[in-house]
Amino acid sequence: MRSIRVGLIGWGTVGCGVIQVLRENEADIRNRLGVPLELRRVADLDIDRPRPVSVPRDLLTNRIDDILNDPDIDIVVELIGGLDAAREVIRRAIDSGKHVVTANKALLAHSGNELFRVAAERGRAIGFEASVAGGIPLIKALREGLAGNRIQTIFGILNGTANYILTRMAEGGLSFEDALGEAQQMGYAEANPALDVEGIDTAHKLAIASALSFGTPIRFDEVYTEGISHIDPDDIQFGEEFGYSLKLLAIARHMDGRIETRVHPTLIPRHHVLASVKGAYNAVHVQGNAVGNIMLYGMGAGMMPTGSAVVGDLIDLARDILGSTPGRVPALAFQPDRLAEIAIKPIADVSTCYYFRFSALDQPGVLSKVSGILGKYHISIAAVIQKGRRKASSVPIVMLTHEALESNVRAALAEIDQLDIVTAPTQIIRIENQETNNFF
Ligand code: HSE
């Protein structure tokens, strides 16, 4: 029986991982598949720079047409990243009758609906396990393992770089910049690390996971997104004093006919299992109406874990090619004509608990002015501490609230920040705890 032949475009960190996994596990893969999975060609603009994983010279090319126009290649792996050029590569691969595997979450967040539609029309499939949560098989779990469920919520740590930075700031006392530098050295960060630290990469992944969970098209533009670059190490410290850990959390919830999709720094109880996810690890909690609560945990970034996800997709596609069943599982888990435009809840309508750090003068009557305004907007205080006493300058006053409506919180803080006793804009961090969700 013939082999299944693969052309790989993009010989970077993930490309090296894919080549290494194919090489190291060649015999197991052949035994699982029944035929060899053969790396036929590797394309990159620069084929001379030394890489951690080498490729025989005769497999290398700097012309992607050598892959796209090769009739013997069954599956094209797109690992060049970015938007326009990668979209073009995938469109051309599909037009040439090839199946595609990609790790490109940004591209799928922006153009996934179009690419999946075109692929389905041509009877081709796109594998994208590596696009969300690195080595964790979350896409497979949502599309197949949990297909018997109505999925209710997803809570996840989906960006290894941001999680690494927060972990090193909390435990190693590192500055934000030093922690980011370390994450970059270890190969976790995006080429543009703003995608990691501003929450955009997490939002790309959440947009994909939310669509798969709730049966909607991908709607990246409607994900509320806030990153970690404005987090002060003091906030991590104060949160810990209240028994909380700080994580960049991706939250998707289908409730009362609307969907919440939001990414923001979140304080979660320190004893909670998600709080123990450290470094570049990712973890995703999924709640389904049949299965209950499940957690998936593993490396969310890096050469070999992401290579593992890509090769898993290659084996899936190879099986579908051999069995003549490509497209057996719909790309977005639901049949394309059954995807629903369920309304997304604006952030102003979200209710949750909050951490506020006010910067205020240390003088009598300050707390009563602040709490008076909070009371006016139906915001109930759960705890408060004032740190230090500095007569002339301001002091941090940290307050935790019970569940409150975001629009009320914003209106209250706009008034509070106008008070002459308040010296800097108030820091605000959302909290997930038992009051907001029984999973915590
Ligand atoms: N920059 C991403 C991360 C890589 O840090 O998680 C994996 O998508």
The closest-lying atom of ligand 1 relative to the alpha carbon of residue 163 is 5
Number of C-beta neighbours around residue 121 at 10 A: 10
The predicted pLDDT at position 186 comes to 85
Could you say which of 205, 247, 278, 369 is catalytic? Answer: 205
Query: Which pLDDT score is estimated for 389?
Result: 64
> Which of ligand 1's atoms lies nearest the C-alpha of 301?
7
Closest CA relative to residue 275, chosen from 234, 248, 298, 245: 245
CA pair distance 81, 407, nearest whole angstrom: 37
Q: Is 188 in the pocket of ligand 1 (CB under 6 A)?
A: yes
Angle between helices 84-95 and 105-121 (to 10 degrees): 20
Distance 202 CA to ligand 1 centre (A): 8
Q: How far is CA 342 from CA 111, 190, 221, 255, 337, in A?
A: 19, 31, 14, 11, 14
Planar angle of CA 392, 395, 399, nearest 5 degrees: 155
Q: What secondary structure letter does DSSP report for 44? A: -
- Provide the 10 A C-beta neighbour count for residue 314: 27
Ligand 1 atom at shortest distance from the alpha carbon of 105: 8
Per-residue pLDDT of the chain (440 residues; tens, 9 = 90+): 689 999 999 999 999 999 999 999 999 999 999 999 999 999 999 999 999 999 999 999 999 999 999 999 999 999 999 999 999 999 999 999 999 999 999 999 999 999 999 999 999 999 999 999 999 999 999 999 999 999 999 999 999 999 999 999 999 888 899 999 998 888 888 889 999 999 999 999 999 999 999 999 999 999 999 999 999 999 999 999 999 999 999 999 999 999 999 999 999 999 999 999 999 999 999 999 999 999 999 999 889 999 999 999 999 999 999 999 999 999 999 999 999 999 999 999 999 999 999 999 988 899 999 999 999 999 999 999 987 766 557 899 999 999 999 999 999 999 999 999 999 999 999 999 989 887 77
Confidence at residue 394, expressed as pLDDT on a 0 to 100 scale:
85
Q: What CA–CA distance (Å, rounded) separates 423 from 128? A: 48
Q: Model's pTM, two decimal places?
A: 0.96
Q: Write down the pLDDT at residue 362.
A: 87
Q: What is the dihedral of CA 103, 106, 111, 112, to 10 degrees?
A: 40
Is residue 205 among the annotated active site residues?
A: yes
Cα of 301 from ligand 1 centre, angstroms: 5
Write down the pLDDT at residue 1: 62
| Any ligand 1 atom below 6 A from CB of 13 | no
355 lines ligand 1 (CB under 6 A): no
Question: Ligand 1 pocket: which of 108, 132, 201 to mutate (most atoms <8 Å of CB)?
Answer: 201
Are the beta carbons of 105 and 134 closer than 8 angstroms?
no
The pLDDT value recorded for residue 86 is: 98
Compute the distance between CA of residue 126 and CA of residue 113 in angstroms, rounded to an integer.
12
The whole-angstrom separation of Cα 168 and Cα 55 is 35
Phi/psi at 334 (nearest 5 deg)? -110, 155
- Contact call for residues 399 and 115 (beta carbons, < 8 A): no
Tell me what pLDDT residue 206 has. 98
> Cβ(55)–Cβ(42) under 8 Å?
yes
Per the listing, tokens 């719909």 go with 330
Query: Residue 107 Cα, ligand 1 centroid: separation in angstroms?
Result: 14
Give CA 33 to chain center in angstroms: 30
Measured CA distances, 237 to 22, 166, 267, 377, 403 (Å): 44, 11, 11, 28, 22
**pLDDT at 407 (0 to 100):** 98
Cβ(161) to ligand 1 under 6 A? Answer: yes
For residue 69, what pLDDT is reported?
A: 97
- pLDDT for the residue 275: 96
* Ligand 1 closest atom vs CA 300: 6
Instruction: Say what the pLDDT of residue 14 is.
Output: 96
Ligand 1: distance of its center to the CA of 89 in Å? 22
Query: In 3D, which of 130, 83, 68, 62 has the Cα closest to residue 309?
Result: 130
Instruction: Check the CA dihedral 305-311-315-317 and report its sign.
Output: positive
Q: Which amino acid is at 98?
A: K
CA 191 from centroid of its chain's CA atoms: 16
pLDDT in the model for residue 390: 60
